[in-house]
């Protein structure tokens, strides 16, 4: 093992704007470059597939103004009313599609109980099962590159729910977020642990570096968090989403930790997932008993949205999983642009 100089923080730089994927994203990019450029009207938004590359990238770019922004784009465009109007239209379409497709469940307990049953080992059971048994470094690197869109800002979208909670639900949500943010230690911030994993896999850790490589299905899994996080009216869905992530993370992380060990990805790559096996076994319990239970006791009418948050998360993860497994089983890259060759600490 070689020791390397301390890496630069991945968010020390602001990424360049990526290439467009259609007329909506092209117009957003043009407007971000020049605020006088015209933005698409309602008709153009309605004409686009809400799950498609163009609409998802347009939404992603607009949301990113609330996180890290883009090089050369004035920071106050975050609150540009014209951009917000377009974002609202894109969100309406995305949300309507999710509400139409997310399965309904009689209660939040029902939706959560379904997540608490583990599928037995089977390559058909999902991406982490497949990576555990069949994934090579190539697939693990692709997986890390597209997950970096979220993990380099891990737990940030969920922090937006904090001012919308109070009492027990707030105290518990803050406690889990504190753990996600390293419990007071910068070197343990989960986003940092993920950057370390990327370095083990020989991936550039610069924030936004892999946005252009990520397919629409990957963008949607991140956009849904920003959507739920930025709207107080969707606080129930945000909490449901967070519960779904925390409940499914621990067993999934164990499978990914195993994949990292089997391929010799490196100690930081193993650590990220090992930490999530243990941390999320706790986070799951805290979110269920100390966030959802008191939230629904105080605001019972949010129950349908908690269910929606759980189910929309599963829906989008399944869509992404299908795309990844399709490509990998056929020996193809699952990214829009293949990764540069080489990399990987073990090579």
Rounded distance, CA 252 to CA 118, Å? 10
- 12, 38, 106, 124: which one binds other proteins (CB under 8 A): 124
Rounded to whole angstroms, the Cα distance separating 237 from 94 reads: 14
**Does 88 participate in binding other proteins (rule CB under 8 A)?**
no
Give whole-number Cα distances, 272 to 1, 30, 117, 342, in Å: 18, 38, 24, 22
Count Cβ atoms below 10 Å from residue 138 Cβ, excluding itself: 17
The entry of Fe ion, other proteins, none near residue 323 (CB within 5 to 8 angstroms by kind) is none
Residue 313 tokens read as 């998360």
Count how many residues are written for the chain.
Answer: 347
Q: How far is the CB of 56 from Fe ion (least distance, A)?
A: 24
Of residues 246-265, which lie at the interface with other proteins (CB under 8 A)?
A: 248, 250-251, 254, 257-258, 261
- Counting Cβ atoms within 10 Å, is residue 93 exposed (0-12), middle (13-18) or buried (19+)? middle
By CB under 5 A, how many residues form the interface with Fe ion? Answer: 4
Between 211 and 279, CB nearer to other proteins: 279
* Residue list 165-184, contact with Fe ion (CB under 5 A): 180
Report the C-alpha dihedral over residues 238, 41, 33, 205, rounded to 10 degrees.
30
What spatial distance separates the first Cα and last Cα of the chain, rounded to whole Å?
11
99-124 burial code (b ≥16 CB/10 A, e <16): eeebeebeebbebbeebeeeeeeeee
Structure-derived torsion over alpha carbons of residues 173, 176, 180, 183, reported in degrees to the nearest 10: 120
**How many residues lie near other proteins (CB under 8 A)?**
39
Residue 121 contacts other proteins per CB under 8 A: yes
190 binds, among other proteins, Fe ion, none (CB under 5 to 8 A by kind): Fe ion
Contacts of 83 (CB under 8 A, 6+ apart): 28, 31, 39, 62, 65, 77
**What would the x/- binding string for other proteins be over residues 163 to 192, using CB under 8 A?**
------------x--xx---x---------
Contact residues for 274 (Cβ-Cβ < 8 A; gap 6+): 253, 257
42 binds, among Fe ion, other proteins, none (CB under 5 to 8 A by kind): none
* 64 lies in the binding site for other proteins (CB under 8 A): no
Q: Does 327 bind other proteins (CB under 8 A)?
A: no
Q: Give the footprint of other proteins on residues 263-302 (CB under 8 A).
A: 270-271, 274-275, 277-282, 284-286, 289
Assess 120 for contact with other proteins (CB under 8 A): yes
Q: Pick from Fe ion, other proteins, none: which does 180 bind, CB < 5 to 8 A by kind?
A: Fe ion
Query: Rule CB under 5 A: is residue 190 a binding residue for Fe ion?
Result: yes
* Residue with Cβ nearer other proteins (49 or 318): 318
Nearer to Fe ion among residue 80 and residue 280 (C-beta): 280
The residues that touch other proteins, with contacts defined as CB under 8 A, are 114-122, 124-126, 175, 178-179, 183, 248, 250-251, 254, 257-258, 261, 270-271, 274-275, 277-282, 284-286, 289, 314, 318
The residues that touch Fe ion, with contacts defined as CB under 5 A, are 180, 190, 280, 283
């Amino acid at each position: 093992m070689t020791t390397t100089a301390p890496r630069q923080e991945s968010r020390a730089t602001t990424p360049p704007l990526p290439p467009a994927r259609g007329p909506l994203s092209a117009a957003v990019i043009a407007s971000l470059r020049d605020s006088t450029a015209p933005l698409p009207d309602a008709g153009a938004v309605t004409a686009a597939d809400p799950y498609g590359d163009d609409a998802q990238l347009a939404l992603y770019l607009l949301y990113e103004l609330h996180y890290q922004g883009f090089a050369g784009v004035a920071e106050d465009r975050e609150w540009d009313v014209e951009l917000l109007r377009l974002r609202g239209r894109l969100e309406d379409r995305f949300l309507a599609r999710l509400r139409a497709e997310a399965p309904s469940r009689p209660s939040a307990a029902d939706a959560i109980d379904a997540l608490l049953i583990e599928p037995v080992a089977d390559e058909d059971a999902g991406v982490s099962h497949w990576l555990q048994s069949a994934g090579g470094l190539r697939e693990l690197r692709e997986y890390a590159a597209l997950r970096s869109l979220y993990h380099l800002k891990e737990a940030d979208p969920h922090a937006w729910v904090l001012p919308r909670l109070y009492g027990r639900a707030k105290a518990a949500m803050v406690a889990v977020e504190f753990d996600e943010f390293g419990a007071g230690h910068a070197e343990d911030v989960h986003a940092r642990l993920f950057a370390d994993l990327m370095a083990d896999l020989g991936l550039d850790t610069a924030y936004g570096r892999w946005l252009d490589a990520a397919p629409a299905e990957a963008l949607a899994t991140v956009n849904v968090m920003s959507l739920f996080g930025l709207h107080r009216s969707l606080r129930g869905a945000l909490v449901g989403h967070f519960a779904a992530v925390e409940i499914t993370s621990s067993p999934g992380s164990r499978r990914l930790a195993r994949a990292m060990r089997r391929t010799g990805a490196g100690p930081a790559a193993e650590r990220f997932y090992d930490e999530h096996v243990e941390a999320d076994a706790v986070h799951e319990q805290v979110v269920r008993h100390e966030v959802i239970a008191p939230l629904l006791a105080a605001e019972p009418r949010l129950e349908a949205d908690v269910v929606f948050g759980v189910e929309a998360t599963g829906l989008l993860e399944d869509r992404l999983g299908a795309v990844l497994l399709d490509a990998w089983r056929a020996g193809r890259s699952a990214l829009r642009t293949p990764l540069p060759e080489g990399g990987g600490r073990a090579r």
